[in-house]
Amino acid sequence: MQKPRSPANAKGRIRAVANPYITLYGYARVSTGGQSVDAQVRELRAAGAVTVFREVASGAKIDRPQLRRLLSEIAAGDVVMVTRLDRLARSTRDLLNTLAALTEKKAGFRSLGDAWADTTTAHGRLMLTVLGGLAEFERELIRTRTGEGRARAKANGQSLGRKPKLTPHQQHEAIQRRDKGESIRSIARSYNVNPSTISRLTA
């Protein structure tokens, strides 16, 4: 009797054996060309990753082409794996943004080195929800402190805007020169500022 053939996705790849309708993807990243992703790739393949996307890029870079490719290729039910969270994200905010992108695709996420970071389990989803709440709380604290700092500075008569490029004396002098017919470009060149800075001056 012939064995049934394993289902394949739209691109012809064979689905993971554990669940024939789920593809396990891996994402491996190192910061510089002098490092190797081989150890990460071996660990991800041992965990069942069918395809591993390899990236050589600093974690501080916003645009990572291989991560972008991975996020565009995954489908509902697929799972993305990394060896550690710091291979995927440079900050809590970055991690949450990436997880939000996975959630929109109805895909899961798993970090092999961080057992709690696993959206395929109820416990993992709870932990990441708590993490998102803490990140939002931290942002709210920052906004509150920034607002209080601005209020104190304003009460003390401090300027909150960008430092003027011209001193009050230079501004008055520039206005007089402009009113006498000197070109705005010439005045701006003498103060080493953009002509628009002179144009915005009023008497």
Which residues are part of the catalytic machinery? Answer: 31
C-beta of residue 52 within 8 angstroms of C-beta of residue 82: no
* 125, β-bridge pairs: none
Please give the Cα distance from 54 to 87 (Å, whole number): 11
Residues 6+ apart with CB under 8 A from 170: 191
* Backbone torsion region of residue 92, taken as left when φ is above 0, otherwise alpha when ψ lies between -120 and 50, otherwise beta: alpha
Give the whole-angstrom CA distance, residue 118 versus residue 60: 23
The residue type of 66 is Q
Interaxial angle between packed helices 122-155 and 92-104, expressed in degrees from 0 to 180 and rounded to the nearest 10: 130
Euclidean distance between CA atoms 53 and 37, whole angstroms: 10
Sheet holding 79-82, edge to edge: 51-56, 24-30, 79-82, 108-111
